[in-house]
Amino acid sequence: MPRVPRMVVTDSGQKAAYHVISRTALDGLPFGKVEKDELVRIIQIFSTIYCVEVLGFAIMGNHFHLLIEVSPGDMISDDEVRKRFQRLYGRNTEFSEGRLEEYRERFCSLSAYVKDIKQRFSCFYNKRKKRKGTLWGERFKSVIVEQGNTLIHCLAYIDLNAVRAGIVKRPEEYRWCSIGHRFQTGNRDGFLSPDLGIPDVSEDDPSAKLKTYRKYLYHLGAIEKRGKASIPQEILDEETAESFEVNRARRFRYRTRYFTDSGIIGSRTFVETHYNTFKDLFRATREKVPKRVKGIEGMYSLKRLGEA
């Protein structure tokens, strides 16, 4: 039976939003902490290469969600195509001007973007688990999403995955989703788009947008659904009383994962010194750079060997 053609928006001069879902072909919940971290890292890499903006994501034990906006080719300059080519292949790889349009089409392709993410992760997973064969199930599903209320609702649906699964009580406690990433890393490296799809809040006030979104998210998450967990009423009441501001104590708690999930943690000098001692053990070919732990003054971390 032939495949049904994928629905892809081809309007020029206008970005298109998609909700992407892909599931593993393996039984159970094969993705643990290391696998989830690596999949987020791979998504970050290819999101700087392809002409996409990531609005939201959730990495679960056997599948992932992405909410992205893809730019059409006519919005991408020739210089931008060349820059993205160098990010993918390296600065020493010569760019063929005769293939400019080919690369423009590729970097604006939803299918190519998701294919590269899944293939790179498959290589990582199979090597880590010493296995061969298919990792992913049927081809990924993509849904065209209208801007406005539909987009916000879709983003909330994605961010509430861990709550619905009964893993956490508050969505930002789950670090492998967009709301968790925003709070636990401060949206490190600008991975996620500051545009939360909320049109009635000033664009130059991201904190107001995030607060408005959290209010919407918590009220939606408190709605009970048969067979699914929800945000408890007492937590919704607590957030309402605090006007949906995340207090300093909880912000600190969200940072404490660095004490258990890092390979090296401390001052920048301390981390760099110990990294130089053990750098030969890291798989990465590039020099690792200590990451500042936002919310804890003067503290830096470096990933574990298995995640480097």
Q: What is the mean pLDDT of residues 37-55?
A: 96
Whether residue 8 has pLDDT greater than 50:
yes
What separation in angstroms does the CA of 69 have from each of 8, 51, 197? 12, 8, 11
Percentage of the chain surpassing pLDDT 70?
84
pLDDT band at 106 (very low <50, low <70, confident <90, very high): very high
Whether residue 158 has pLDDT greater than 50:
yes
CATH number of the 11-145 domain: 3.30.70.1290
Higher pLDDT, 3 or 126: 126
Contact indicator for 20, 66 with CB cutoff of 8 Å: yes
Whether residue 56 has pLDDT greater than 70:
yes
> What is Dmax (Cα atoms) for the chain?
62
pLDDT of residue 305: 43
Q: What is the mean pLDDT of residues 57-65?
A: 97
Highest mean pLDDT among 4-8, 130-134, 272-276: 130-134
Domain boundaries, the chain: 11-145, 146-255, 262-307
Percentage of the chain surpassing pLDDT 90?
56
Contact indicator for 300, 290 with CB cutoff of 8 Å: yes
Q: What is the mean pLDDT of residues 149-160?
A: 91
Contact indicator for 230, 215 with CB cutoff of 8 Å: no
Q: Which of 67-81, 153-167, 203-217, 268-282 has the lowest mean pLDDT?
A: 268-282
